[in-house]
Chain A
Amino acid sequence: MNFKTAKRHVKESFTTMSRNRWMSFASISAVTVTLLLVGVFLVIMLNLNKVASDIENDVEIKVLIDLGVNETTELKLQQQIENMPDVESVIYSSKKQELVKVQKDFGKDFELTQQENPLKNILYVKAADPKKTEAVAKSIEKLEGASEVKYGKGKIEKLFSFVDTGRNAGIVLIIALLLMATFLISNTIKITITARKTEIEIMKLVGATNSFVRTPFILEGMWLGVIGAIFPIGIITALYSSIHSALEPKLTGEIAQLLDVMPFILQVDALLLLMGVLIGVIGSFLSVRKFLKV
């Protein structure tokens, strides 16, 4: 295809788009609504995933040491844990330090201060891979001196199953919306084409190739998709930036953080644009196909 032909195709695609103004508008709106929802959903899901994995990465195993064991056994226990292949770090915290923590959490007048310290010495263990947490915890349980081994069992699973359910429901919704938008574009193009059936027939009879006939329609679909993507991209970029800057100060120091605006939002934008283009191209491709059989 030479430059002149390409120019002709582009011009042709814009002409028909403005000729069917209302159908074009309807298609663009459908793409806009779809991509807006897809975008919001993407931003929420990806951030939930990030939060979940932040929390997951922070999972610690709390090894409560038997009150009855002496320091040598405690040290031996610590070394045994440190030597495990999947363990990243082990931090010792005496019961005095634990008491200070409790007091900090519940206030100075916490009644435990009046009594003998009932807490145990604790080892905080972190697995190298959060997924191995459970296995590590189980092997620690068998060691001498470990009276109780605790980790965030259940909580994490709950969070992940919540994220999963949300994601699945969202994916179904998005696929339905994408199909609807594709269908609407395909219908717009069909109207464009039906009005030009004779023209296509003549084109084919004088020896135009299928791609020559098809290209302007594919371009038209692509423009509809691209124009439909502009608004969602703008809205989502602006919205996420402002939400992020509003929430960020409140989250400093917390385990879970939102995804940074850059490059995250650019990736989402690129994905939305790509979806717009695909919806348009696939939509028009589907409706042109039938008309090429001359």
Chain B
Amino acid sequence: MIEMKNVVKKYPNGVAAVKGLNIEIKQGEFVYIVGPSGAGKSTFIKMMYREEQATSGEIKVDGTNITALKSKEIPYLRRTMGVVFQDFKLLPRKNVFENVAFALEVIEQDKEDIRKRVMEVLKLVGLQKKARMFPDELSGGEQQRVAIARSIVNKPKVVIADEPTGNLDPETSWDIMRLFDEINSGGTTIIMATHNREIVNTMRKRVIAIENGQIVRDERGGDYGYEF
């Protein structure tokens, strides 16, 4: 599903955020990306949906080398994946339904299909009754559910999440994690950067630890491994 070979990312200021990553993630896997702040986790994640472009090396998503993609082709890469952020990134002036539907509208899907599919995912994340509410009327956990609904609404093969529980209390975090687990059990690959030790140590998955721009550990069912 995702393959990286000798991936290096240097920023224009000379800082090398990623120094030679090699990795293979198979379809249907659930992977935690852990490591201290500034270790290169975000760069790693951003390179997968081409918000950042690798300086050298090869990144393959579903067989396509995305480091060679022209900027015109990037939208089509992103339609095969969902992205979830720590700060939800919802549109405050659109209601729950519209926020999720937005992802399908911009890829020009049929209105009736959009309505059906949006109600389907809202039911999956347990928000079908709040479809008409606006983001500021929802709790943090509910907002993240909306964001997750938006990320899976176009049936992506992979969902990439950058600290999705970073802004949530422990109990809500568990709800969100259960939701990700459920999505994963449907065959969707999940790649999640996280700082949440309790979650990683309890919901055991593959753990990839990045330190100083390099992979220092890649363990199936591994633990978080850091004190913070």
Interface bits A33-62 vs B (CB < 8 Å: 1, else 0):
000000000000000000000000000000
Kindly state whether residue A176 has any CB partner on chain B within 8 Å.
no
User: What string of 1s and 0s marks CB contacts (under 8 Å) between A255-294 and chain B?
Assistant: 0000000000000000000000000000000000000001
Q: Which residues of chain A are within 8 angstroms of B138 by Cβ–Cβ distance? A: none
B108 touches A5 (CB 8 A): yes
CB contact under 8 A between A208 and B75, given known A8-B105, A198-B89, A201-B89: yes
Interface residues of B in 55-100 (CB under 8 A from A): 71-72, 75-79, 83, 89, 91
Taking a contact as CB atoms under 8 Å apart, the answer to whether A206 and B78 are in contact is yes
Q: Which of B51, B77, B83, B91 contacts A198 (CB 8 A)?
A: B91
Residues of A within 8 A of B154 (CB): 206-207
Which of A5, A8, A208, A294 is close to B51, meaning CB atoms less than 8 Å apart?
A294
Check: A244 CB closer than 8 A to any chain B CB.
Answer: no
CB distance from B145 to the nearest CB of A (A): 16
In this complex, which of A1, A4, A204, A206 has the most chain B Cβ atoms within 10 angstroms of its Cβ? A206
Question: At the interface, yes or no: B30 with Cβ under 8 Å from chain A?
Answer: no
Query: Which residues on the B side are within 8 Å of A5 (C-beta)?
Result: 108
Q: Is A209 an interface residue (CB 8 A)?
A: yes
Residue from the list A198, A199, A206 in contact with B107, Cβ < 8 A: A206
Residue B102 lies at the interface, judged by CB distance under 8 Å to chain A: yes
Instruction: Count how many chain B residues have C-beta atoms less than 8 Å from C-beta atoms of the other chain.
Output: 21
B44 interface residue (CB < 8 Å to A): no
List, in ascending order, chain A residues with CB within 8 A of B72's CB.
209-210
Flag B99-132 by CB within 8 Å of A: 1 or 0 each: 0001101111001000000000000000000000
Q: Which residues of A contact B103 (CB under 8 A)?
A: 206-207
Residue B224 interfacial (CB < 8 Å): no
Residue pair A2, B71 in contact (C-beta under 8 Å)? no
Is A25's beta carbon under 8 Å from chain B? no
How close is B97's CB to chain A, nearest CB, in angstroms? Answer: 15
Given contacts A8-B105, A212-B106, contact A205 B91 (CB under 8 A): no
A2, A207, A210: which contacts B79 (Cβ < 8 A)? A207
A208 with B107: CB separation less than 8 A: yes
Q: Mark B154-169, 1 if CB is under 8 A from A, else 0.
A: 1000000000000000
CA distance A204 to B89 in the complex (A): 12
Interface membership of B180, Cβ < 8 A: no
- Contacting pair A205 B83 (CB below 8 A): yes
Minimum CB distance partner of B91 in chain A: A199
- Among B83, B102, B108: residue with most chain A CB under 10 A: B108
The reply to whether the CB of B150 lies closer than 8 angstroms to some CB of chain A is yes
Q: Are A207 and B107 in contact (CB under 8 A)?
A: yes
| Residues of A close to B77: CB separation below 8 A | 207
Residues from chain B with a CB closer than 8 A to the CB of A204 are: 75, 78
Note all chain A residues with C-beta closer than 8 A to B75.
204, 207-210
Interface contact B89-A210, CB-CB below 8 Å: no
For B71, B75, B76, B102, which residue has the most chain A Cβ atoms within 10 angstroms?
B75
> Are B89 and A2 interface neighbours, CB within 8 A?
no
In the complex, what residues of A have CB within 8 A of residue B79's CB? 206-207
B32 close to chain A: CB less than 8 A = no
Interface check A202, CB cutoff 8 A: yes
Chain B: which residue is nearest A201 at the CB level? B89
Bound Cα distance A204, B103 (Å): 10
Chain A residues contacting B102 (CB-CB under 8 Å) are 202-203, 206
Which residues of chain A are near B105, meaning CB under 8 Å? 8
A202 / chain B contacts, CB cutoff of 8 Å: 89, 91, 102
Closest A residue to B90 by beta carbon equals A202
Could you list 14 examples of A-B contacts with CB < 8 Å?
A1-B108, A4-B111, A198-B91, A201-B89, A202-B102, A203-B102, A204-B78, A205-B49, A205-B78, A206-B106, A207-B77, A208-B106, A209-B75, A210-B71
The 7 closest A-B pairs by CB, nearest first: A208-B106, A207-B79, A207-B78, A206-B103, A207-B75, A209-B75, A203-B106
Residues of A within 8 A of B (CB): 1-2, 4-5, 8, 198-199, 201-210, 212, 294
Which B residues contact A (CB, under 8 angstroms)? 49, 51, 71-72, 75-79, 83, 89, 91, 102-103, 105-108, 111, 150, 154
